Amino acid sequence: MLSLVAIILPKTFIDKIWVGEDRILVVLAMIATFLQHNIWTISAQMAEAQRQTFKVQLINLSTVLINLFTIIILWIFGKLILPLILLIIILEWLVASVFASKMYKTYQIKNNLEKKDTAKSVFREFWIYCLPLIPYAWLSFIHDFADRWMLQTWGGSNQQAYYAVAQQFSVIALLITTSILRVFFKEISEAQYKKDFKKIENYYKIISKALYFASAAIAGGLIPWSNEIIILFLGDKYISGIATLTLMFLYPIHQSLGQINGSLLYATEKTKVHVNIGIFFMSFSILIVYFMLAPSNLILPGLNLGSNGLAIKMVIMQFIQVNITGYVISRIFGWKFDWVYQIYIIVTVIFFGWISKFFITSFLSVGIISMFSLSFFIYIIMTLLSIYFMPWLLSLTKTELRNGLSHLIFRLR
């Protein structure tokens, strides 16, 4: 792909596909994205395989903070230009990836099973595992690119900005999921190797519900404050993006389940199942997003909904895909498919979010930050109480919940 963009494609193609952007800028963006989202991910997984979760998160946090401080310095000195930013991102994630990959150690495991491994058998194992992922990776690229290209072409840079900002804020709801996902992958992979299917079921049900609740709780607390978040952080010029932001706060709720489902299928070597479901939904999604974004005056007219249309598509398609994948997983492993808890959790957290905001704004007249802080404090108390009185939402009993709280208090002391 890099050779295609950097050398082979003529300038007219570059101008058409990337809407007038310079070729060098596109190449730098590709390298920066590849290092941050591919090389770093692989390096972090290598470290996670050694259960170096804390060190991996420390490297990740350090890299993000260094990037933030560097951007601030460039802004102060008036050098905040895109090529320089991309070069900095390339350097930062390259260094981070080197540090993380160095944590991986190899061991000589002396048993009969390992002695049978040869270069040919290992290659065959990886070939069977990875072969379905090749068309999946290409279609993923086409799907993601089509979404943003159609939004840019028919909605323009303003709609692109509304969606990009909403997507960045929505990531907040995935913070807990991201930190736990690799640990989950490691434990499921090990349980699969040992044929401990009961452990796989317990881990999947408890972790998926817990992370779903965590993502929903963060989103539920932020959704009522979408208007204030836009005004406070971005200003009045982004006020038209409030609906997009509100919708995108819903997206990570089921995205957390989607990532858990994907990790389970990868860890248990069910890549073909994951790919087949993904290819079907991505193909269908491209058609849906066309009708959401296309102007009404085309031969095949669309709804011309701009960033709102793309956000609606993301939320609805994610919800359907996650639950179908969950159903397929339950059939593969022979356990009961449970989805009703999703409705209970979403309704509960959004209701608590609006109630806490209404209570604070009705009785206090202080700054936005103060009102948000007090509202979120009340919201957290209400959410924790709901867990205590309805522990089944997290696949726990009250006894298990009390034991967990006692252990947590002991560790904190």
Residue 119: phi and psi, rounded to 5, are -60, -40
Task: Supply the DSSP string of 263-318, one letter for each residue.
Answer: HHHHHTT-HHHHHHHHHHHHHHHHHHHHHHHS-TTSSS-----HHHHHHHHHHHHH
pLDDT at 360: 92
Q: What type of residue is 204?
A: Y
Q: Are 96 and 55 in contact (CB under 8 A)?
A: no
C-alpha 113 chain-centroid distance: 37
pLDDT at 14: 83
Q: Which is it for the CA torsion 135, 137, 138, 144, positive or negative?
A: positive
Q: What type of residue is 257?
A: L
Q: What type of residue is 348?
A: T
Task: Supply the DSSP string of 367-379, one letter for each residue.
Answer: -HHHHHHHHHHHH
**CA–CA distance, 270 with 405 (Å, rounded to integer):** 35
Q: What is the CA radius of gyration of the chain?
A: 23
Q: Which of 337, 315, 342 is nearest to 325 (CA)?
A: 337
Q: Average pLDDT for consecutive 10-residue bins of the chain (413 residues)?
A: 87 81 90 94 88 88 94 92 94 96 75 67 88 91 91 89 88 79 86 91 90 91 92 85 92 92 92 94 94 92 93 95 96 91 93 94 86 92 90 81 83 81
Q: Which two tokens stand for residue 158?
A: 């303003």
Matching residue, tokens 């790919």 = 275
Furthest-apart CA atoms within the chain: distance in Å: 72
pLDDT at 114: 52
The pTM of the full predicted model, rounded to 2 decimals, is 0.79
